[in-house]
Structure 1
């Protein structure tokens, strides 16, 4: 598939078929993720791959799906996302960056977080996540990046023994797209995309 086609076809898929995902495709996703740019080649990221029904169910239980019980309002988004057979959780490690930039070749003498204009440990892990999403398209799969509710991050850590110095930046469901993949968004919202590009100087 041409790269331009990968970019054009990438969208968030929120419902999946029952067809299993080739483990080799998942391996390629996390392999490509590690090709993302990262400050100082710190590689302060990790990827938790959940590809068994037991682990996938545990993820949803730990991140609050259990609260959508018989007495809760139906949640079509959650019901669709839970059909994914694979979930990848990208994790960012701030300490890896602070340690790397305290090394002699970087010229900093301490690990102060104040030196960082933006938290690149999250930026870099986000770029790695995008490569996972793009690779899914290239593999003929669907995927969706979404946030983990803050109230359930500690439960997620406990469920999968995630180290304290690694922070989940979100999660990515992966699977074969179901026939009904939902709306692509309103025409009005799609028409506004050009407003984000400003050349030379910011123009309202």
Structure 2
């Protein structure tokens, strides 16, 4: 598939069949993910791959909110059939440690002040999650290229302790989100779990040339 077609066709798919994802496709999703850029080439990411039905059920039990302001049953039914869940995780400590190394200790991530080399205050944004997000986008795009569907979604703060415990994830690793991958269900199936359709904002609303608002 041409790259422009991959970009154009990428959508968040929220309803899947239970057809398995081929092992070679799982390998390609992950191999492409680690081609993402990372600050200082830290590569401070890990990917929890859940394919076995019992592992996926354990994930949904741990990561699903106990209560919600809206009915999530249709969304959960469509997403729950996805045969593959990938949880990209980031290690803040890996980045703080990397930028304390001699070749990076003077890197201008933030204006020098009272911080020490391993101080999080150096970082204007949490690049550990930025990098995991870039890796996640490569998974989403690779899924399109393979003729699959995928959806990136968050794991709430209240559900994170249960997620960590369910899968033995050390506290140093924080999930950036999770990605459900599989074969897209027939159009219209699970539509009740999809958000209201919103238009894509045109370029002239989001692109500012030379000056914000220009």
The 10-residue stretch of structure 1 (151-160 or 17-26) with the greater mean CA deviation from structure 2: 17-26
Partner in structure 1 of residue 101 of structure 2: 103
Partner in structure 2 of residue 80 of structure 1: 78
Cα pair distance change 1:73/1:131, threshold 3 Å = closer
Counterpart-to-counterpart distance in 2, 1:103 and 1:139: 39
Question: Which of 179, 187, 192 is residue 201 of structure 2 equivalent to?
Answer: 192
Output the aligned Cα RMSD. Answer: 1.9
Unaligned runs of 5+ in 2: 107-115
Question: Which of 150, 159, 184 is residue 157 of structure 2 equivalent to?
Answer: 150
Aligned pairs (5 A) from 1:1-204: 1-64=1-64, 67=66, 75-108=73-106, 110-180=117-187, 182=191, 186=197, 189-194=198-203, 195-203=205-213
Counterpart-to-counterpart distance in 1, 2:140 and 2:152: 8
TM score, norm. by length of structure 2: 0.87
Counterpart-to-counterpart distance in 2, 1:95 and 1:33: 21
Counterpart-to-counterpart distance in 2, 1:56 and 1:13: 18
SS at the partner of 1:105? coil
Q: Do the aligned partners of 2:16 and 2:82 also contact (CA within 8 Å) in 1? A: yes
Cα pair distance change 1:198/1:18, threshold 3 Å = same
SS at the partner of 2:103? helix
TM score, norm. by length of structure 1: 0.91
Counterpart-to-counterpart distance in 1, 2:72 and 2:209: 45
SS at the partner of 2:208? coil
Counterpart-to-counterpart distance in 2, 1:51 and 1:27: 13
Deviations 1:110-135 (A, max 9, x none): 20111111110010110000000000
> May I ask how many residue pairs the two structures share in their alignment?
198
